[in-house]
Amino acid sequence: MAATFTTREIDVHTGTTETVHDLTRDCVAFLRDVARGRDGLLNVFTPHATTGVALLETGAGSDDDLLAALHDLLPADDRWHHRHGTPGHGRDHVLPALVPPHATLPVLSGTLTLGTWQSVCLVDTNVDNPNRRVRLSFLG
C-alpha cells in the first residue's frame, strides 16, 4: 500500500493567560479518521512565532511546573529587544527556541504511541493572541 499524507488544521482558543493546552484528544480523533490502522508518523505543528509543542504529563502539576520554569528562564520584563505588545512580550518570541513549534510522533496500527503519562500539548505564553492554529499531519 502506498503511503498517504493527510493534514487537518484545528483552531485552539488559549485565552488571555499563559497556558499548556492538551491536544492529545485532537490527535487521537484525527488519527481515528485518517490512519485506518496504518503505521506512520504524526506531525503536530503550530504556525506561530510565539507557541511551542511539548510532550509532558498533564493534570499532576507538570503543566504548571513548565510555565513556572519558562518564567524563570524567560522573565516577562523589559530586557527584551522585541518590544511590541504586552510588556515582556519579547520573551514569547524566544519560547519556540526552547519549546519547538513541532513534534513528530510514531503511530502504530493507527494508534498514537505515547508513553504512559505523556500528552501532546500546545504551550502558549503569549497573552496577546488568544486564538491559535495547530496543523496535524499523518504520513503512513
pTM, entire model? 0.95
Please choose, from the candidates 127, 53, 42, 140, the residue with its C-alpha nearest in 3D space to the C-alpha of residue 92: 127
- Helix count and strand count (H, E) for the chain: 3, 8
Alpha helices in the chain (DSSP H): 24-34, 62-73, 90-98
Residues 16-31: pLDDT tens digits? 999 999 999 999 999 9
Per-residue pLDDT reduced to its tens digit, 57-116? 999 999 999 999 999 999 999 999 998 899 999 999 999 999 999 999 999 999 999 999
